Chains A and B, each alone.
Chain A
C-alpha cells in the first residue's frame, strides 16, 4: 500500500502542476482581456449593439418674390430593403415586378455603400398607393422589404425656373469631404445646383438623431437617446413666377420664330430680367430646360446620360450664367459710351461708311454688314443703324490711344469677371487684351501679338470678347443707371419659421463707372432710336413704353448666327434691364428682340401679340 502511494507521489505532483498551469494560463489570459484590454472590448461591444440613425430635417421651401412656393416638400412612400435580400434572387425578381424597377437596378442600389450603415436601401421612391398597399398586404412574400414614409421635393410648376432652383440629390463624396456640416453623412440629400446648392446650408436645417440598442439581428431593443431635427428655413427669391413663366415662353417662342425664319438649328438660349435699381433677378430662363423632379430618389443612369448628351444641348446648363457669348452689336453701346467717356468721340463725331472700311490700310480692309454703305453718320445714327464702319473707326481711335481704355471701360461696367450672383457656376466671360492674347496663344508665337484688328473686332462685339447673358443685362442696367454696377442676386429673404424675413438681401454695389449724365442721355436717345427708327423699330412698333435697346447678331464659326438683344426700360428712370440670346437664332432684331418685347409687355402690363419681322443687321 505504502509503496504504491510512494510510487504515485511524483505523478500526482505532475498532475497538480498541470492543473495549476492550465488554470493559471486561463487566469493570465483573462487578466489581459478583462483588465488590460477591457476598454477596447467595451468599445467593440458598444459598436456591436449601438446604432445611430439620423432623422432628416424637413428641407426649407423656395418661394418666389410674392411668396408663392416654387419648391415644396411632398410626403411619399419609399420601398426599402436591407442589402441582405440581394442574395435571394427569387425575392429580388418578385420585388422587381412589384415595384417596376429592373433587377439590375435593385441589385446596384442594394450594393451601394453610399448611405448610413443601418439605413435600409431605398429601392424606389414615391411608389403609388396601390403598390404600397400590395407590398403591405403581401409582406410575408417580401421579407425585409418595407414601405417607409419620406419627404421629397415637389415642384408645383414643373420645370419652371429649374435652372435657378436647381435640383437635389445624394451628397457626393467630394461634397461630403468639403462640407463643414458636422453630422453630414452618406445618403444625405443636398442641393446639387442652383439655389438648392447655393443656399443648401439655410435650406437643409439640422438633422436629428436616434441612438438605440440592437440585437445581433439588428432588431431595435431600446432607444438610448433622441434629438429632434430642426427644419430648414424657407428662402424667398427675387424671381417673379409669372415673369419667369413669360420669359420661358418668350424663349420657346423665339426658337419657333427662328425655325420659321429658316434657322432650324436654333435649340438653345437664355433670357435674363434684372431690376436696374437693386440687381434683383426678376426672371432667369435658359433653354433647353429639364425637370428637377427626375432627380428625386436618384436619377436613372439612362436619364443622366441623356441630360449630358451633346445632342440634348446640355439642358442642365444655366446658360444665363454658365455660357459666355460674343455680344455682337449690343457691345456697340458700350463701345460708344467708352468713347464718349474717354472723350475720343462726341455725340457729333461723324464718320462716313462706304461699306468697306480700310482704316488700317487696304490690305486689312473690313466690310460693314451693309456692303452698300451707310454714308455719313453721327453716333446716334451709327447705333440706330448698327453701322460697323463707324465703330471700326471708334476701335481705331482706342487702338491709337494710350493704354487699353476700351478693355478698362468694359471691365468697369462689369464684364470680364463673375458678377458674384448667388448661384453656383457663374463664368467670367472674357475681355481680351494684349496680356490675355499672349498667354492664350503661348504655344503659337505668331498669334501672340495684339494687332489693330483685335481692337477693331472687339469694337463691334466680335473677336474674343465673351459675355454671359447676365453680364449683358447687368451692363445695360449700368448704362441706364449712370454707371453703378450692382451685384445681381436671386435671394430676396431667408424666412424664419414664423414666415417673417430673418435675413433680407441688400443691394450690393460692386463699382461705379461714374458715367457723365450727358453721355448717359446721349446713349439713351441713340438706343431709343434703335427701337423707334433703327434696327429694332418693327419689333417695338406701337410699344407704349420707351425702350432703350440694341440688337446684335454674332457670327460664330461653323454655326448659324447668334441672335442677341439687350435693353433697359423705361428709357428714362429705367426699372428693368433685359438680355436675350438665342444660339444659332439668326438675327437679334427678328428673334431675340421679339422675345424681349414679349417679356416687357408682361412687365409693363401690356398685351402682346406675336411679332414676325426681319432683321438683316448685325
Chain B
C-alpha cells in the first residue's frame, strides 16, 4: 500500500485533462443549446432545469464509476449480461414499461418514469462484450471464439430490434465492430459481418421485421421527396435550418427555423439543426473540434489502458460516441437516415446524459488505473 496523499493531488494525477475539459465544454455548449432550443416552449424553464438535474445526476455516476476499479466488472459478466437483457426487455414487462413517441421506451414504476433502459444498456453491453472479447487476448480467429462473441452481440441486438428500436440496435452493432477491431477479429470475419448487415437491411425492408415508420424513414433517406410533409419534412426543415445558418449563424435564440418550430424535436434529436442555424459553420466546426478532443482523449485512454479489457471498454465508448455523432449530425444534414439517436453531451435527456457521463467515469477509472489497480 502506497502512502496516503492529499485528495487534490490524487485528483489532478488521476484526471485526464483533455477528456475532462472536452466534456465540460461540451456540457456547457449543450446546455446553451438546450436553453436556446427550448426558449419558445412553454416548458422552457422546466426542460432546462431537468437538463441540469440530468448533468448533476450524471456527475454522481461519473464519480462513482471513477472510484470503482473497472476490472471489478469482469467478474460480474454473467449477471451483467442477464441485467442487460432484462433492461432491454423491461419496457415490455407489464407494470414496468411505457412508451413515448414511437419507439422511445421507458422504464416506469407505478406510472413514474424512471429512465430509458436502452441508454444504460449500451454501457452494459460495452462492459460485458469487453470481458468476453478480452478473454481471447487480442486475437479472435477460431470459429468457436467468433461464434461466442457473435452470440454475445446477437442476443441483445435481436432483443433490441424486437422492441423495436432500430437506432439503438445500430449503435450496438457499431460498438461491437469497434471493439472487435481492437479485440483482434480477423478481417474476413468483418467481411462476414458486413454481409450479415446487408442481409439484415434487405430483410428489414422487405419483411414485417421493421415497423412501417422505420421503413419510411430509411426510404425517405434514399428519396426525400417520397414524403415531403411527413418523414422527409423533418429532414428538409433541418437542412434548411443548418444551411441558412451560413458561416456564423443567425445568433443565439435567433433564426426563424428554430424559433418558429420548423425544426422537429429541436432540443433532442435535432439539436444540431438549432446549433447549425444559430451558430453557423463556425459553431458546427467548434462542436466537431470538441468531439475530436473527446474521441482522441478516449483513444489515448484506450491506448494507455493497463489491460486489454480497459482498452476494449474505451474502444467501445469511442465507437458508441463516434457512431452517435455520425448518425445524429449526419441525419440532420441528410447523409444518414433519420433515427431517434441523440447527440452525445448535447441533446436533452437525462438517461442519455447519465449514461454518457457514467461512460466518462469509466474512462477516468481506466485512466487512473493505467499503472495499477488503486485509485
Contacts and interface: CB of A to CB of B under 8 A. Distances in A.
A29 B333 contact: yes
B292 interface: yes
Interface in B315-342: 315, 318-319, 322, 325-326, 329-330, 333, 335
Interface string B28-60: 000000000000000000000000000000000
Contacts of A26: 288, 325-326, 329-330, 333
Interface in A40-68: 40-42, 44-46, 48-50
B257 A33 contact: no
A25 B329 CA distance: 11
B243 A34 contact: yes
A225 to B, nearest CB: 15
Q: Is the interface of B mostly helix, strand, loop or mixed?
A: helix
A4 interface: yes
A16 B301 CA distance: 13
Contacts of A31: 281
B242 A30 contact: yes
Nearest to B300: A12
Contact of B261 (A20, A29, A38, A217): A217
B178 interface: yes
Interface stretch (B14-22, B204-212, B244-252, B359-367): B244-252
Contacts of B178: 15
A18 B318 CA distance: 11
Contacts of A11: 181-182, 184
B245 A16 contact: no
B311 interface: yes
Interface residues of A, number: 42
A16 B296 contact: yes
A34 B326 contact: no
Interface in B274-296: 276-277, 280-281, 284-285, 288, 291-292, 295-296
Contacts of A50: 256
Interface in B235-275: 237, 239-247, 255-257, 259-262
User: Which of B184, B260, B277 has the most A CB atoms < 10 Å from its CB?
Assistant: B260
B296 A19 contact: yes
A185 B329 CA distance: 41
B243 A40 contact: yes
**B: contact size bracket:** 35 or more
B81 interface: no
A5 B240 CA distance: 46
Contact of B138 (A8, A29, A49): A8
Contact of A213 (B256, B281, B330): B256
User: Which of B295, B306, B308 has the most A CB atoms < 10 Å from its CB?
Assistant: B295
B313 to A, nearest CB: 13
A29 B240 contact: no
A19 B292 contact: yes
Contacts of A4: 137-138, 307-308
B318 A49 contact: no
Given A27-B288, A34-B246, A22 B240 contact: no
Contacts of A46: 256
B299 interface: yes
Contacts of A514: none
A22 B259 CA distance: 30
Given A12-B302, A19-B296, A33 B242 contact: yes
A215 B264 CA distance: 12
A37 interface: yes
B303 interface: yes
Contacts of A401: none
B284 A30 contact: yes
A216 B288 contact: no
Contacts of B307: 4
B276 A34 contact: yes
A42 B138 contact: no
A99 B243 CA distance: 46
A215 B266 CA distance: 14
User: Which of B237, B240, B242, B280 has the most A CB atoms < 10 Å from its CB?
Assistant: B240
A46 B242 CA distance: 13
A214 interface: yes
B74 to A, nearest CB: 16
A35 B247 contact: yes
A23 B292 contact: yes
A44 B182 contact: no
A16 B260 contact: no
B299 A19 contact: yes
A40 B246 CA distance: 10
Contacts of B311: 8
B288 A34 contact: no
B246 A14 contact: no
B287 to A, nearest CB: 9
A44 B296 CA distance: 37
Given A19-B295, A25-B335, A216-B261, 14 more contacts: A7-B184, A8-B182, A11-B182, A12-B303, A15-B315, A22-B325, A27-B285, A27-B288, A30-B333, A45-B240, A45-B241, A45-B262, A49-B257, A215-B261
5 contacts: A26-B330, A30-B281, A31-B281, A34-B243, A34-B276
